[in-house]
Amino acid sequence: MKKIKKIKINLNGKALFLTKGTSLYKVIKKNKLESNKIAIELNREIINKKKIDKIFLKNRDKIEIVHFIGGG
């Protein structure tokens, strides 16, 4: 049987373990986030939200997902 490889990424400052080859789209979907309300950074680079299904995560990737909150 083929061994499933795990990777460790960082999502909004917290460690997260995923199966190797998981797409960014899957992470967004799993966290029930609506893409028209968020912006995503992968390793300090802003990601085009239309392409998240084609981005596959690697070990040690750092993701930041932000949205609007109340502010002055």
Partner 1 sequence: MKKDFFKISKKKFKSRLIVGTGKYKNFVECSKAVKASGADIVTVAVRRVNISDKKKPMLMDYLDPKKITYLPNTAGCFSSGEALRTLRLAREIGGWKLVKLEVLGDKKSLLPDMIETLKSTEVLSKEGFKVMVYCNDDPLMAKRLEDVGAVAIMPLAAPIGSGLGIQNYTNIRIIRKQTKLPLIIDAGIGEASDAAIALELGCDGVLINTAIALAKKPIEMAIAMKYAVIAGRKSFLSGRIKKNITGFASTTKKGII
Minimum gap (Å) between residue 32 Cβ and partner 1: 5
Q: Which of 20, 29, 39, 59 binds partner 1 (CB under 8 A)?
A: 39
Minimum gap (Å) between residue 39 Cβ and partner 1: 4
Quickly count: other Cβ atoms within 10 Å of residue 18's Cβ: 19
Our finding on whether 7 is near partner 1 (CB under 8 A) is no
Quick one: which of 50, 23, 35 has its CA closest to 9? Answer: 23
- Give the span between the Cα atoms of 27 and 69, in whole angstroms: 21
| Contacts to partner 1 by CB under 8 A | 11-14, 31-33, 36-41, 44, 46, 49, 64-72
